[in-house]
């Protein structure tokens, strides 16, 4: 999906990736958990933001303008903040991974307190948060933007592989593995190029197939497509969740001779044999082994464990918020944004952008002891990159119906939409969304559709 960021501490070796990976509101964070010997200290803020990802930084900027920087703090452990949507193009060799990251210190609004630590525990009954470095922070209002967790370790055989490059495996979902995708693509000779989609909620549901279309384009460009078999094994019963865009994508996979296997879930990688094992979800216990020359892994994902272990979570472990106002269903001074929530929409940072303007309005009302009146419609977006020059811009809402910005058929591949993804959206992200000025394309949509049904 568009505008997803990923923040990660730098690890020295690949295996460190398995120790813990999770996202902060539109962000993934991989880190080692270490205990802190620092003495316990106490602080209080009017608004405490958990997570320095897309949602966390955007809301910090908005809260600074509303309440003053001295009243706002952000808890985030990572030194770097990454703009993740561009990783699709990094994996395909178009952009560099270095260009996708900026120091966290440069994106936290000036004057806002940066608590450089992990969240250890949230106690909403006492209005306090404890961090790994021994701090106890109390708050009047809490914004939870902790994102989701990546679970590469749930795929048997994967955690033991030190050198993904050697075994021709990549993943556009982490800063350590995105360049491995490009390496596997360049080194492809002949055989199966396999792309997986897990049997869990995911961030950016389009990303697993974007890199597949780019692989097809790259192999055609380099004269290797005739000796390649491109296979998309997805756990889903559909190619894409929204029919209008799914119909367009089915045409593309048929025209480009791409094999799609529905209800296939990656459960094991046998690197020494270059084999990937998929379970058939329609026939439990039945597995199928695929040889591969290139394997792109989309990891299983799940809720943030800090939320999952608290009274803030729903039964599935996600932050339990009102789907229209983003206010917590049990604690009225707690709010949520992004991938950590149970909002029934596709998890993208385009969704975070739209949510940020709604949440801004909700908190303004709550501060005045008034009832929130602006409602989030579930808007989310996924620019489906289908080649090195074309994109299908999928936009839709809670109802699963297209909610398109432009008065044209966005299910058609267009170079203008590719240009928007590759060149327009990154600066809009850094200078608009993260600074709290971009709240999604709603106002533009109204202008574009003026006088039209």
Contact 273, 303 (CB under 8 A): no
Pick the catalytic residue from 21, 30, 204, 340: 204
- What is d(CA 451, CA 453) in angstroms, rounded to the nearest whole number? 7
> Is 30 in the active site?
no
Pick the catalytic residue from 21, 30, 340, 382: 382
Alpha-carbon distances, residue 267 vs 154, 163, 225, 300, 428 (angstroms): 8, 19, 27, 10, 38
> Is 21 in the active site?
no
- What is d(CA 334, CA 316) in angstroms, rounded to the nearest whole number? 18
Q: Which residues are catalytic?
A: 204, 382
């Amino acid at each position: 999906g568009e505008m997803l960021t990923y923040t990660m501490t730098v690890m020295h070796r690949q295996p460190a990736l398995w120790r813990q990976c999770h996202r902060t509101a539109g962000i993934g964070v991989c880190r080692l958990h270490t205990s802190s010997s620092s003495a316990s200290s106490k602080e209080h803020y009017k608004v405490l933001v958990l997570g320095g990802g897309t949602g966390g930084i955007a809301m910090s900027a908005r809260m600074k303008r509303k309440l003053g920087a001295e009243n706002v703090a952000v808890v985030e452990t990572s030194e770097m903040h990454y703009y993740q949507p561009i990783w699709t193009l990094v994996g395909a060799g178009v952009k560099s991974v270095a260009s996708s990251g900026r120091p966290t210190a440069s994106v936290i609004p000036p004057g806002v307190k940066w608590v450089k630590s992990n969240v250890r525990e949230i106690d909403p009954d006492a209005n306090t948060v404890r961090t790994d470095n021994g701090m106890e922070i109390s708050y009047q209002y809490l914004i939870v933007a902790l994102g989701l967790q990546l679970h590469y370790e749930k795929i048997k055989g994967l955690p033991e592989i030190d050198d993904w490059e050697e075994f021709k495996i990549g993943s556009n979902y982490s800063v350590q593995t995105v360049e491995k995708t490009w390496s596997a693509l360049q080194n492809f000779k002949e055989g199966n190029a396999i792309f997986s989609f897990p049997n869990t909620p995911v961030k950016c549901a389009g990303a697993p197939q974007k890199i597949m279309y780019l692989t097809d384009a790259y192999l055609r460009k380099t004269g290797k497509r005739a000796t390649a078999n491109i296979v998309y094994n997805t756990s889903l019963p559909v190619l894409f969740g929204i029919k209008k865009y799914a119909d367009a994508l089915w045409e593309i996979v048929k025209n480009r001779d791409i094999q799609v296997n529905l209800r296939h879930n990656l459960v094991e990688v046998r690197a020494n044999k270059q084999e990937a094992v998929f379970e058939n979800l329609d026939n439990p216990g039945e597995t199928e082994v695929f040889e591969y020359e290139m394997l792109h892994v989309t990891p299983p994902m799940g809720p943030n464990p800090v939320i999952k272990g608290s009274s803030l979570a729903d039964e599935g472990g996600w932050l339990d918020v009102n789907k229209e106002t983003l206010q917590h269903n049990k604690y009225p001074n707690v709010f949520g944004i992004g991938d950590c929530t149970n909002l029934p929409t596709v998890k993208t940072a385009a969704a975070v952008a739209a949510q940020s303007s709604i949440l801004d309005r909700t908190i303004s009302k709550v501060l005045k002891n008034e009832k929130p009146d602006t409602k989030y419609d579930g808007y989310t977006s996924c620019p489906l990159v289908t080649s090195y020059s074309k994109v299908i811009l999928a936009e839709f809402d809670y109802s699963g119906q297209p909610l398109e910005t432009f008065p044209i058929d966005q299910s058609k591949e267009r170079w203008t939409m590719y240009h928007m993804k590759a060149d327009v959206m990154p600066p809009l992200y850094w200078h608009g969304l993260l600074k709290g000025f971009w709240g999604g394309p709603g106002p533009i949509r109204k202008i574009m559709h003026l006088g039209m049904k």
